[in-house]
Each structure stands twice: as C-alpha cells, then as structure tokens.
Amino acid sequence: MKSRPVYAPFKLDLSGRAHLIVTNQAEPPEGIEDSLGEIEIWTVRPGSLGVPAPAAAHIRAFRATAELLPQLSHRLMRETTGLRFYTIGSEAFIWDAYNIAVQAGLGTGEISLHRAGPLVRRVYCTHCRTLTEDVAQNILPCPACGATLFVRDHFSRRLAAFMGVKVDAEVPGEIPAPEVFVS
Amino acid sequence: MMLLLTNIETLTPALKKFTFTAPDAAPLPHAGAGVHVVVEIPGPSRKWKNAYSLVSSPESTASYQIIVRRVEKSRGGSAWLHDHAKQGDLLEVGMPQNLFAPPRRAPRHLLLSAGIGLTPFLSYMHVPGLAFELHHCCKVEDAGAFRALLPQAGNITLHTSRATLDLHALLSRQKLDTHISICGPEAFMDFVLATAAQLGWPAAKIHKESFGGATGGKPFVAHLRRSNLTLNVGEEESLLDAMEAAGLNPPCLCRGGACGECKVALLEGVADHHDHFLSPAERAANNAIMICVSRAQTPELVLDF
Amino acid sequence: MDLNIKPAETYRGDYTFRNSGDAILRFPFPFPDDNYMYSVNIEPHVRGGETVAFQATFDLDEHYVGDMADRAITLADDPLRCQVLPHMAEAEWDTLELLMESLAHDYPQHFSLTKTGDEWHWVNRPLNIDQHFTFGKAETLPYGPFEYITRQVQGDFSLQDQRENMLYMDGGMVTSQADWSLNFDVGMSFTEWHGPVPLAHEMGVFDRALQYLLRLQLGKPVRRLNWTLTANPRLDTSPENYPAWGPEKASITAENVGERLCLRVELQTLTRLPRSNAILFGIRGYLIRLEELARVRKWAVRMHRVIRNLNPQIAEYKGMTRYRQFIIDYLAPFDDGRVLNQGIAAEQSSL
C-alpha cells in the first residue's frame, strides 16, 4: 500500500541532540536507559481514576490521550532545533501526534512513527465525513449515515484515517465477506 | 530570450551589477525569489554558459539584474563580462529557473552566505513578510558594497571575520520551525553543514544553492559512444562545456551539480564526482556522472551519449 | 479560436449532454495503439498535434457554459471540492494570472484582460462576468483567486507544492474527477495520492514521472492523456457521491451501452508557476458517448481492441467490470480486422 509508510522498529536516532518519546501505551519502549539525560517520555496510564500521576524526572504519565495531545504543541513551542520526536502506539494516535509535531515545525528526519497495540484503523466515511475509531475489519456500517463501508487501502496522514466508501453503491445488498485487518 | 544589457555598475573592483531588459521594453517573465538565469557569454573562441541568481525584486518585470564576481581562475565567462561587455550589447539569457526558493512552509528563515553567495538572498529581501535573520561573511574591502545592496531594516549582520560569527550559538538557539538556507563557496557551506549536523539539524531543514565554484581540474578525454565523438576536456572547462562546444545539446538546468537534469550514464572509467545530486551509493556504483561539474579520475571516460 | 458555445446541457438527471459533429471530430482520443498499458506518456504541451484539443493552452469547447454550470451546482452542494492550503497563496495568484492571460489570448472574442499596474479588468462574455480587481488583494474578488478563476475554466485543477524533492497536492478545484476525493487527498505527496493505482508503481512509472516533474521548467509545460469509462455523461463521479451515481453503472445493458456508456478522457497539463515555483496540474475532462465515438471508424476499431485486450487488473481498477463485455460486443461489428495506423488522429474530416 503506497499511501501509508512502512513502520520500522523503534530506535533512538543518535544524530539528535535531545529526544522526546510520546506513546499511548502504558509503558515506554524497552531498551531506553533513562539515565541518558536528554530523553523525555510521555505515556498514557489507564486506571488513574482521574488522579494525576506524581511528577518524575523523565517520564510523564497522562490520564488519557485527550490530556496528552493538547499539551504536546505547548511543549514543542519552547524547543530548539536538534530534537528528535518519536511517537509509538495505535495508528490513529501516532498520526495525530505527528500532525501536531509538523504544525510545531518538525519535519523529515526529526519525526519517527512506530505502530504498537491492536491492528485497528480509524475510518473516514467519504459520504458523510464521519470518523469511526478502532475499526478491526474492512466492512462496517457507518454509525452516522448507515452506509455499509468498504475500507480502502488508502490512508490520509492529515486525517489519520483510511478511506471508507459505500461497498454496495452499484447493487444494494451486494456485500462481500469482511476480512479482519492483518496490518 | 535575447536581452539588452542596459546598465553596468561597478560595485567593487571584482563585483559588477548588470541590468538587462527586453530589447522592445516588453515585460520580462515573472520570477520568484531565488531564481537564477543562465547567461550565454560570447567569448573570442567559444561561448560560456554561466548561471547567475537574479538580485532584482521578483515583482520587477521591467528588468533583470545580476551581480557577477570576476573570478581569476574561472573558465573565463565572468572575466569576459567584466572586461568586454558594454551597454547596448545583446545577450542570450535563459528563462528563470528556481532551484532555491525560500521554503514555503517554514515560518522562519536563517540565511547564511559568504561572498558572492549573498546574491540569491537579495531577491529574498523583496518577499513581503518573510521572517528572516541574515548573516553574511565577506572581505572587509567588500563590506561597504554589500551593505549598500541590503535593505536598511531587517535582522542583517555582516561579518568581516570568521571570529564574529558564532555559528554554534546561532544554530543552537533556533526554534523548531526555522529552516536554514546557505549559499557561498564550498568551504563555507561545508563548515555550516558540519556544525549543523553536530547540533542535530536534519538535512531536510537545510537548503543550499551551489554555484559550482571553480570546476576546472585535470584535463581528460571523454568518449561519447552514441554520438561517436571523442572530446578533450580542458582544465578550465567542464565536461558539459566541452560537449556544448562540440555542438551537442545535452539536457541541463542548474549547471551547478544540484538538480540532476544532466545525469549521463557512465560506461567506462572512474568519475571524479563534484555534484550534490548523486547519493553516496550512486557515486560508489560509478555508473553515472553529472556532466556539468564532475570530472574524471582516470585519464579517459566512456559515456552513454 | 472559435468556440460555438451551446446553451447549458445537463450532466445529471436527464443527461441532455450531446456532442456536435465538430466536438466528436476534435475529441482527444487516448489510444495510439491497439493495446494499452501505463507509461510515462508525457510530451511537451505545444500547440497543435494530432487533435484540435491540443491547440489552446487551456482548451475550451462548445460545452463551456454547461460545464461551468455543473461545477457551480457541485460547489453549492459541497464547498470542500475547492480547497487551498494557506501556504499556497502565491500559487493562487500565479494560477489566476496564467488562466486569465491564456484565455484572453486564445479566445479574444470571448475573454478580455486589461491591466493598469495591479488594477486588472477581466471580462468573461459567455458567463456574463465583468470584474475589476487588484492583483494580489484577495478581498477585491468574490472568491479566493484560485477558486475565482477555476470557476471559469473547464476541467479540474490541482496545485502542487515542490519541496524536499517531492510534490505535494496542497490545493485543488475538483468537481469532475474520476473517483478520487480532494478532501481525503489534500496534502498528500505524489506517491501517496497515486497509491491506489495498480501495476504502475511496480513498473517505476511514478518514480520516473516524479523525477521529470521536479525539473519541470518555466515556459515549458507538458501534457499527457488519461482515460476511463463513465455510465452516462456525468461529470461529478466523486467518491463522495458514489451512492448517487454508482447505481447508474449497474443499469448499463447491451441495449443501452451505445447511448449511455461514455469514454472519459483527461487531457492533463503540467505547468510550472513563476512566483511560487509550484506546478499547476490541469485535468481537462472530455466525455463522448460510445455511439458518438463509433462514428469515427478508426476509433471504433481501435477501442474495440484496446478494451478486449486490456489487462484485467487495469480493467478492474477503472471500474468497468460490469459492462466491459457489452462494450466489446457493441464495437465488435466495426472491427473487420483492418490494420490501423499508430496514433490518435481521427483520420476522417467528416462523420
């Protein structure tokens, strides 16, 4: 599929001066020595019951992605060039984080994205424009307009979503068997 | 386009500004900031084609202006312009080409130049609302002339010695949304690139205009297999120059080794790469050469042309 | 150049769209050979050549008023069919200047442009437009400059920003597309937006095309032809409205294929813009009913062979599975096995 990049395994880019890792997983990736002073890690810890996590030297644990993402642009505004930005997690989350990073001025060679967690997709209904999260298979009813959508293998970074198009537009009811996403 | 040379202004003994208009005073094609034109210079025994940045405002369609530095060890084109060109001459000037526009999505621009490398940035000064910081390095005897070319207002610093340009500090304090544009001699650009890399700047935020510099070198022989020609490439001409002098018309665009247009397949011999286009892997594979700037390590090359 | 503009016909509902004899003969037929495969079929966009459609810089024809009326309907229903990302403001003005100057030059009896410094006066007689405005000041126009002018030129347009050795589709006016979504694709790179096309990537077609386009020069535009098939002469075959036009595909039969099935050709032009250094990609669409096309013998025979021999993956990607055999059967009687010349010219001057 040409519209979506190949995700490489996580690895620190040592040409950077400082590193910020942002993940919607509960734990940071393995193999990071946080004794390396210039690495900062943001995670999302479920089960907080609303209680903020205590401040720690290089790790911040947020209560939800909705708390994490708005803070990101604020954090990047104070940065100077030389930062390497890594985002790890579900596909929709990492591209949402990517878009914030690009708005802040980061670009090629400074951002790397890594997929982790269940193989689910955000789907954009091309007809009514509704976005549906956490879709696990390639045929689904749009929760807003009801059209049965086929999820095309065409990905928009801007929307962080795959394109869903009505599967039985030509002959209503002619719907193929759904397939679970394997990538 | 055949253009009329309407004015020559001496800025310093080595720098002259040339103004061109259409012979019938018709408007010239619009050009964005950062464009260059290729001027065909009629020497006594051969023509040269040299690329020069337009220093005039992108909105001025009445005339184009370039600044030419008289290079002692050049292939001769700049010397001819300085010594022989006169008001009223007609010269063939190519359509403007843009390989060095200010990056459109970058809110901030750090412009670094040395010597004649200032010229593309002079057109940047006319871009309304461009947020920039310019640092220009030049010889102390040229500082007055360069200052006169620059606008009064703006974040502009001239450095007449390397000591006053603290590149490390300058690059370290740039915000994330800054892009660097560099133009100047090879050594200056290499110095900036090395400092930037040390500080973790990604290549995608660094933009450079290469002017080719002195591309002379050891003479060599080039066999053009499909044209059935053998050329002697002299020490003061490029392979491209030699092919054009022989009446051929190989595709080319920037004449500075950056754009990729003049790439020719190399069949035999070892190239001496001076370009900015081929990747390290492509250079090592030794099966292509950028004819506008690169030369030969072996006495002969065989090209698929 | 003469236009002989017709009163507006419809491209939806009752589909009154028809091509006159002249329009049929000047149609940009896309098949130079009996077999079709993807290629980097780019050539310099110089005036003239094998079809009259190559004569003007931006070709207009008898359907001008009808096409623009259809665009206006689509935009009223869905304004997001025209979007330009903020950093492309300069490219918008480049586009306005290029299209106005080209139309005024090529069709002086229909369009005129007079300039006093930055004060411009544009007249579009077929659409009854008389507009004074200041070049560079968007507030002096009723729409953004890109939308303003593309509402007056046939065909879709996209604006490509060139950066980092790549092209990005950072703007567009897309109301007559063959099944792609501007709202979904805006901001994508060349490689990403061509993602869905089968085979061509593996063949290296897009890599070569991209390298070529990155070095596109000012004053040297290029063009190529692309094609697909449409049930009924419908311009708005967008994915957004697929639920509306999709059923029409299923209604094609052996009996109506001649009247309803259309060959849809895109004359694509690529032009380097002066101030922004962006590329304006013009996608000028033409529709012709199969029965109209068949009045040119060479085209009937050639199209029979192309569709019959077409690679199944391409046939599927172009959405013709339901009616491919109907087309072959309709055109087969015209094909007596004659040897055809290479090239797209009609080779007849009357029908």
Question: Is the Cβ pair A159, C184 closer than 8 Å?
Answer: yes
Total-model pTM: 0.89
The domains of chain C are located at 37-244+271-287
Same domain, A28 and A96: yes
Chain A residues touching B107 at Cβ < 8 A? 105
- Residue C19 CA to residue C289 CA, distance in Å, equals 8
Q: Is the pLDDT of residue C329 over 60?
A: yes
Are B181 and B262 part of one and the same domain? Answer: no
User: In this structure, what are the phi and psi dihedrals at residue A174, rounded to the nearest 5 degrees?
Assistant: -80, 90
Whether residues B158 and B200 share a domain: the answer is yes
For the beta carbon of residue C204, count every other beta carbon within 10 angstroms: 10
pLDDT 10s digits, A139-158: 999 999 999 999 998 999 99
Domain extent for A73 = 18-115
Given CB atoms, is C322 within the 8 Å cutoff of chain A? yes
Which residues in chain A have Cβ-Cβ distances shorter than 8 Å to C191?
2-3
Q: Percent of chain B beyond pLDDT 70?
A: 96
Region class of C136: left (phi > 0), else alpha (psi between -120 and 50), else beta:
left
Kindly state whether A30 is in contact with chain C, defined as any CB-CB distance less than 8 angstroms: no
Which residues 67-126 on chain B approach chain A with CB closer than 8 angstroms? 106-107
CATH at residue B176: 3.40.50.80
C223's CB contacts (< 8 A; 6+ apart) are C42, C43, C44, C45, C54, C267, C268, C269, C270
Rounded to whole angstroms, how far apart are CA atoms C196 and A153?
7
3-state secondary structure chain A: CCCCCCCCCCCCCCCCCEEEEEECCCCCCCCCCCCCCCEEEEEECCCCCCCCCCCCCCEEEECCHHHHHHHHHHHHHCCECCEEEEEEECHHHHHHHHHHHHHCCCCCCCEEEEECCCCCEEEEECCCCCEEEEECECEEECCCCCCEEEEEEEEECCCCEEEEEECCCCCCCCCCCCCECCC
Pairing of strands B263-268, B300-303: antiparallel
pLDDT digits (tens, 9 = 90+) for B121-167: 999 999 888 999 999 999 999 999 999 999 988 899 999 987 899 99
Q: For chain A, how many structural domains are there in total?
A: 2
Domain annotation covers residue B103 = no
Q: Could you list the residue range(s) of the whole structural domain that residue B37 is in? A: 2-98
Identify the residue with better confidence: C204 or C266. C266
Name the token pair of C209.
């095309």
Q: A147 in a domain, yes or no?
A: yes
AA letter at A89? G
- Given C164, C192, C240, which is nearest A2 (Cβ)? C192
CB contact, 8 Å: A74 with chain C?
no
**C83 to each of C89, C143, C145, how far by Cα in Å?**
11, 12, 12
Asked whether C176 and C155 are in contact (CB, 8 A), the reply is yes
**Same domain, residue pair B128 and B181:** yes
Pairing of strands B300-303, C82-84: unpaired
Q: Are C28 and C344 in contact, with CB atoms under 8 Å apart? A: yes
pLDDT score at B213: 47
Q: Are residues A43 and A131 in the same domain?
A: no
Which among B161, B190, B209 is the end of a domain?
Answer: B209
Q: Which of A115, A147, A177 is the last residue of a domain?
A: A115
Give the whole-angstrom CA distance, residue C255 versus residue A45. 64
Instruction: For residue C228, give every residue at least 6 positions away whose Cβ sits within 8 Å of its Cβ, in sequence order, or none.
Output: C178, C264, C318, C319, C320
Task: Tell if the CB–CB gap between A109 and B106 is shorter than 8 Å.
Answer: no
Q: What is the pLDDT of residues A40-60, one digit of tens each?
A: 999 999 899 999 988 787 889
Distance from CA of A125 to the nearest CA of C (A): 9
User: Is the residue at A106 inside a domain?
Assistant: yes
* A42 domain-assigned: yes
Active site amino acids of C: 224
List, in sequence order, every residue forming a beta bridge with B232; answer none if it has no partner: B221
**What is the total count of domains within chain B?**
3
Here the CATH number for the domain that contains residue B224 is 3.10.20.30
Average pLDDT per consecutive 10 residues, chain B (305 residues; last block may be shorter): 96 95 92 91 82 90 94 77 94 91 90 94 91 95 94 93 91 94 90 94 89 67 95 88 91 76 93 85 92 93 95
Alpha-carbon gap, residue A60 to A51, rounded angstroms: 13
Contacts of C274 in chain B (CB under 8 A): 29-32, 96
B/e letters for B35-70, b = 16+ CB within 10 Å, e = fewer, are bbbbbebeeeeeebbbbbbbbbbbebbebbbbbbbb
Rounded-to-integer distance, Cα C235 and Cα C11, Å: 6
Residue B215 covered by a domain? no
Task: Provide ipTM, 2 decimals.
Answer: 0.90
CB C159 within 8 A of CB C169: yes
Cβ of B176 within 8 Å of Cβ of A108? The answer is no
Pair (B90, B6) in one structural domain: yes
A127/C243 touch (CB, cutoff 8 Å), yes or no: yes
Of residues C94, C163, C217, nearest to B95 (C-beta): C217
Residue B214 located in a structural domain: no
